[in-house]
Structures are given as C-alpha cells and as structure tokens.
Amino acid sequence: MKIQLRYFASLRETIGLGSEVFETSATDVAALRQALIERGGAHAQCLAVGLPVRVAVNQVMASDDTPLVGECEVAFFPPVTGG
C-alpha cells in the first residue's frame, strides 16, 4: 500500500523532506518505522528504535501497534515541537 509520510521539525531537517509517498507492506506503525530505518541514512539516524519519536496516523496520535489501513497518512515528529 502507499502511505503518505510527513516529517516535522528536526526530523524534517535531518531527512531533508517534509513529505513523501512510501510503498510498503507494513501492517502497523512499528513495522513501518522498521522499514524506514532499513532504508539507512538519515531515516535510520532519526527514526532509530529507542529515540523519542511521536507518530500520528491520519492526524490521531498513534502507538507502535496502531494498524495501517489503506492509503493513510503517517506523521513523525519529535516529542516537543515549536509553533
């Protein structure tokens, strides 16, 4: 499935993108994050397991076990963002 990814604040700066479309077979947030980490580079650097990263699916706060259904939007951002 195609997922619309959005990156905010320091994650956007590190990855160098505000958004992208990502083709994946991940069924939940944890599997998606792992797939992005496996890309290596900036994705691995800022999304590594253990780093404090918040996630929202379709603009609702999500946890690792939140399912990904259809063509959803997943946003990654640090725990504290500015306005």
- Amino acid residing at 8: F
**CATH of 2-77 among 3.10.20.30, 3.30.428.10, 3.40.190.10, 1.10.1060.10:** 3.10.20.30
Residue 39, helix vs strand vs coil: coil
CA dihedral 62, 76, 51, 12 (to 10 degrees): -170
| Residue spans per domain, the chain | 2-77
Per residue of the chain (83 residues), give pLDDT as tens: 999 999 999 999 999 999 999 999 999 999 999 999 999 999 999 999 999 999 999 999 999 999 999 889 999 999 875 55
